[in-house]
Amino acid sequence: MPQNLLVKYRSSVRLNDIGYVNKYLEKLNQELNNGDIIEVFVETKNQRKSRLLSKYIFPINYIYYTLDFLLKRIFPKWKLTYKIYFRLTKGRNRVFSMPEALGRLISCGFEIVDFEPVYGHTRIRARKVGLPAYNNNPTYGLFISLNRVGLNKRKFKVYKLRTMHPFAEYLQSYLYEKNKLQEGGKIADDIRVTSYGRFFRRLWLDELPMLWNLFNGDLKLVGVRPLSEHFFNLYPVDMQELRTRTKPGLVPPFYADLPKSLDEVIESERRYLTAYFSSPLTTDWRYFWKAFTNIVFKKARSN
């Protein structure tokens, strides 16, 4: 961090040991001015795993780690076990992934300045840049709903199986600025995705709940991918207008054209939409079977 930036507040308590982390960060936000720097510490999921596995001998270490993971990582996220967790632990020694810790800070009105490992923990410096989002429905649990831009720029919820860490949705702008995009127009080195999430995505299991959006009328079978507001704003204004003249689709033209960059993705969608508005049924029929061929026989996958 540049030397001329002074830390306004330095926490003496790990984020892991704060019972209601977001309440704590929201209150801290209220006491600071925009531009003030805070410094907090967290033991991440991976750091904790390394510590516990080296603390005990095999196989005790793996038994202990598994029980610890269930109690302090899984229990706080399920409504059925949430109260059990807090009754047993008082909210202390909770397990956070790195994306969740960063996402919580961003959701509470901070931007990430830097972070680094320090003696088995991670030190995070963040700057207050605005008010908290006060999100009462973070993406916990197996099923999630995500805000997307639809027909006539109407916001709607897309339903999916969760493949990212909790609060990871707040990291989108940060990771885009830091890592930019890879082939296919997705964020490169996306730390938000869990290991099981990558498996779900390879088999499209995460998109099965989107069938409800199809039956509910938010999506059509073939169409442009439903975008978050962040990615929607990366598109040229003329394409924003063009793609919101019709519903997004479950099967995007990406799988028909297999574009490599965001610019190519945009041009792929432009060609599809131009053809669609001229001949809707014929275009969707043609794009569906081309996408089907690429997915089944050419093993096409989204990044």
At CA 265, angle to CA 263 and CA 267, rounded to 5?
A: 70
Model confidence over 105-143: pLDDT tens digits?
999 999 999 999 999 999 999 999 999 988 766 666 678
Query: Tokens 């963040």 belong to which residue?
Result: 126
Beta bridge partners of residue 159, listed in sequence order: 145
Residue 273, SS3 per DSSP: helix
Contact 194, 221 (CB under 8 A): no
Contact 256, 294 (CB under 8 A): yes
Q: Do 107 and 192 fall within a single domain? A: no
Beta bridge partners of residue 227, listed in sequence order: 149
Contact 125, 113 (CB under 8 A): yes
Output the furthest CA–CA distance in the chain (Å, rounded). 68
With respect to residue 1, please indicate whether it lies within any of the assigned structural domains.
Answer: no
Give the pLDDT band (50/70/90) at residue 251.
very high
Write out the E strands in 29-183. 37-42, 110-118, 121-128, 143-149, 155-161
Q: Do 96 and 28 fall within a single domain? A: yes
Q: Do 151 and 189 fall within a single domain? A: yes
With respect to residue 216, please indicate whether it lies within any of the assigned structural domains.
Answer: yes
With respect to residue 138, please indicate whether it lies within any of the assigned structural domains.
Answer: no
Q: Do 178 and 123 fall within a single domain? A: no
With respect to residue 106, please indicate whether it lies within any of the assigned structural domains.
Answer: yes
Query: How far is it, in rounded angstroms, from Cα 275 to Cα 283?
Result: 6
With respect to residue 271, please indicate whether it lies within any of the assigned structural domains.
Answer: yes
Model confidence over 30-87: pLDDT tens digits?
999 999 999 999 999 999 999 999 999 999 999 999 999 888 888 887 778 888 888 8
Residue 119 Ramachandran class (φ > 0 left, ψ -120 to 50 alpha, else beta): left
With respect to residue 136, please indicate whether it lies within any of the assigned structural domains.
Answer: no
CA atoms within 13 A on the CB side of 199: 3
Q: Do 159 and 91 fall within a single domain? A: no
Q: Do 150 and 290 fall within a single domain? A: yes
With respect to residue 2, please indicate whether it lies within any of the assigned structural domains.
Answer: no
Query: How many domains is the chain partitioned into structurally?
Result: 2
Strands 110-118, 37-42: parallel, antiparallel or unpaired by DSSP? unpaired
Model confidence over 190-246: pLDDT tens digits?
788 888 888 888 888 888 999 999 999 999 999 999 999 989 999 999 999 999 999
Model confidence over 134-145: pLDDT tens digits?
876 666 667 888
Token pair belonging to 167? 């609060």
Residue 6: predicted pLDDT: 83
Q: Do 163 and 74 fall within a single domain? A: no
- pTM reported for the whole predicted model: 0.78
Residue-number span of the structural domain to which 150 is assigned: 143-296
Q: Do 97 and 180 fall within a single domain? A: no
Q: Do 11 and 105 fall within a single domain? A: yes
CA atoms within 13 A on the CB side of 54: 7
Q: Do 215 and 245 fall within a single domain? A: yes
Q: Do 154 and 287 fall within a single domain? A: yes
Which residue type sits at 12?
A: S
With respect to residue 70, please indicate whether it lies within any of the assigned structural domains.
Answer: yes
Q: Do 206 and 286 fall within a single domain? A: yes
Residue 89, domain CATH: 3.40.50.150
Cis bond before residue 59 (omega within 30° of 0): yes
Number of residues written out for the chain: 303
